[in-house]
A and B are shown apart, each in its own frame.
Chain A
Amino acid sequence: MNSSVQNERLVGPDEVILVTGASGFIGTRVVQRLLDMGFRNIRCMVRPSSEGKLKKALGPDADRVSIFRGNLLSREDCQALAKDAVSVIHLAAGRGEKSYPDAFMNTAITTRNLLDACVTHSVCRRFVNISSFAVYANGSKSTGRLLDETCPLETHPDARGEAYCFAKTKQEQVVAEYRDRHGLSVITLRPGVVYGPGNLAISGRVGIDTFGVFLHLGGSNQIPLTYVENCAEAIALSAIRPIEGSEEFNVVDDDLPSSRQFLRRYKKQVKRFRSLYLPKPASFAFCYLWERYSSWSHGQLPSAFNRNRWNSLWRKTEYSNAKLKQRLGWHPLVSTEEGLRRYFAACRGEKIHA
């Protein structure tokens, strides 16, 4: 991308950019990044209970944004929210924990309501939908080990045993329907593992501690990390860059560590704990047997482990951010080395100075 395109903007500094989920882990960084870029009319949608989190995160900059307290399940709230918004960053989603209906309602239905409002107002030039790597099937892709934007999406997301995967896949279908029917310009971002101070859990792609001991399942796999500030940069650029039509982008950083490297550094720099490495054939067999038992027993054990999930999380996979760099002109603001340093420091309870 040449420098003149890099400087072009779809949105004027005083036009409304709407950010849903603005008080969340990623949302607060997106709002800060947009402020840093010089945008002066940022509308932040928050749940009433989380307004304080946004104000705390923005500090004195909180006075430079307008805060909209509402609920995306309310069509009326969505209509008011989307009024005059020329660019919409839709971050809010429900994880639903283990409930498919809850995750679906707070992800797909809220998205439908917001899209309806955007279509009604007819001023939205860009709708940025924040999706997830969870939507990729990763079982039978034609790109070998490489997972890129051309790879197939889950066709049976309900079989993954993850409400979040189901909800996010359905959300993408809703967005695609509105894009096709109403000609909306949509950018779908699929971040990998967004990490940083504020999200300190070890990704399930590295391993799980469900059974009392930490099972290391990632092995030599790359972990598709993206430091929260880097992810926020990709989101902010998606909202303002003039790109023809609609696009999908995966968001991962450069120089990704392997699961083994990550775990070794975590143990060295944060805390020591026992872990047991499960080789790929063993973890696949475990998932396969669990899936069979779950099906045979009509869910006496829920289908939490299955082949689809193994393919998604633990199959040997490589990642690329080439399209993101090429089409959006994105580059990581924080190197993986620095990102990990800050992350481990936050895990140790240290206050982080960026």
Chain B
Amino acid sequence: MLKIALVGCGKIADAHAWQIERISGCRIVAACDREPMMAMQFCERFNVPAQYTDVQTMLREAAPDVIHITTPPESHYPLAVQCLEAGRHVYVEKPFTLHYHETQRLIELAMERGLKITAGHDDQFSHVARRMRKLISSGYLGDHPVHMESNYCYELSNTGYSGAMLGDKNHWVRRLPGKLLHNIISHGIARIAEHLTSDNPTVIAQGLISPFLKNLGESEIIDELRVIVSEESGRTAYFTFSSQMRPGLHSFSIYGNKNGLALDQDQETLMKLRGKRHKSYAEKFVPPVSLARQGISNLRTNVGLFLKNDFHMKAGMHYLIGSFYRAIEANEPVPIPYEEILRTARIMESIFDQLRAQAELRSAHIQEPAHA
């Protein structure tokens, strides 16, 4: 029986606890939060026997095998170091760390100690993402991927999490190097990172503050991002983050030299994009029929999964956590290769470095006196 503990009892901890409860062979033995009332409410709702406000005390007394770090990102690195140094396996929510060198250090530390670590890139393990991976492995795309397009949107409003963040100049999100983007884009970047091969791809990023935020008087939060990623092998990708475009997509398309695939995370659909063209007018009539049939097939799959009680909203997280636990118990490879976690961190750091440079440039232009 694996003993699990959570550090951080906020919103995402609930999602973890729901999924852990559905996995056999493990149980949550402790929860920790600096705010005792947060730990109390979590333990009460999930029947967790021990609550703590200090991680070291929890590690010592509850002796968990695996720690899930579900705190705000600033504390991911120091907490993960403490847990690894105490000989525990660690699941770190996204974003994995604030800086690339921290990601590197955590992975090195885990490897030195013979421990496992993973990042909370759970969207990559949804049913539809796993179907896509299987097709790619079967060679559906052709020899290799040529280009990818990843969209990851977030609809900003004046309520909830975004309302709190926009209204509070000291909100923890504002302290992250990439601010709002840092907390959100990991899923969309990780999808690209999975299919790249280089450790250090070339990244060109352009960030903007949307008119919506400007009207609210916002001058720090970048909520429109366009990125081009490329590597020497010739693989390229576009990444889009938007708070304004509708629909607010969470989608990923990948094109090989033979065929393409298009995944829609929100609708849990996967469409095969046939590379070979039909002759003449057949190209106008046959593909729409094929797409309609694929739509029906996706519907059938989703309904089937629902009827089998395997279509929970966080099915990807359930799969990732379960795979991570199995990797620990059987000493097998972790579900997300370390080089992929590193590549995701490298791309994100490069994006945020460029956005920071752009912000400094804008600020310098504003301060420059106007010439007569």
Contact = CB atoms under 8 A, between A and B. Distances in A.
A178 B160 CA distance: 29
Contact of A99 (B11, B18, B38, B42): B11
A112 B38 CA distance: 12
> Looking at chain A's contact residues, is the secondary structure mostly helix, strand, loop, or mixed?
helix
B167 A49 contact: yes
Interface stretch (B127-135, B223-231, B306-314, B357-365): B306-314
A99 B311 contact: no
B233 interface: no
Nearest to B45: A158
B168 A97 contact: no
B37 interface: yes
Interface string B180-212: 000000000000000000000000000000000
Contact of A109 (B37, B168, B169): B37
Contacts of A112: 37
Contact of B309 (A50, A105, A300): A300
A100 B161 CA distance: 13
A300 B311 CA distance: 7
A299 B18 contact: yes
A101 B163 contact: no
Interface string A39-76: 00000000111100000000000000000000100000
Interface residues of B, number: 30
A99 B10 CA distance: 9
B14 A71 contact: no
B200 to A, nearest CB: 38
A3 interface: no
Contacts of A101: 9-11, 13-14, 38, 41-42
A181 interface: no
Interface string A141-183: 0000000000000000010000000000010000000000000
Contacts of A299: 18, 312
A102 interface: yes
Contacts of B159: 97
Contacts of B54: none
Nearest to B9: A101
B21 interface: yes
A102 B11 contact: yes
B44 interface: yes
Interface string B75-118: 00000000000000000000000000000000000000000000
B166 A298 contact: no
Most buried by B among A47, A97, A101: A101
B155 interface: no
Interface in B1-59: 9-11, 13-14, 18, 21-22, 35, 37-38, 41-42, 44-45
B22 A298 contact: yes
Contact of A105 (B14, B21, B38): B38
Contacts of B267: none
B312 A109 contact: no
Contacts of B166: 49
Contacts of A50: 167
Contacts of B167: 47-50
B178 to A, nearest CB: 22
Given A99-B11, A108-B37, A71 B312 contact: no
B158 interface: yes
Interface in B286-321: 306, 309, 311-312
Given A102-B11, A299-B18, 16 more contacts: A48-B169, A49-B166, A49-B167, A49-B216, A97-B160, A99-B14, A101-B13, A101-B38, A101-B41, A102-B161, A104-B38, A109-B35, A109-B37, A297-B309, A298-B312, A300-B306
21 contacts: A47-B167, A48-B167, A49-B158, A49-B166, A49-B167, A71-B170, A97-B159, A97-B160, A99-B14, A100-B14, A101-B13, A102-B10, A104-B37, A104-B38, A104-B41, A109-B35, A109-B38, A158-B45, A296-B309, A297-B312, A298-B309
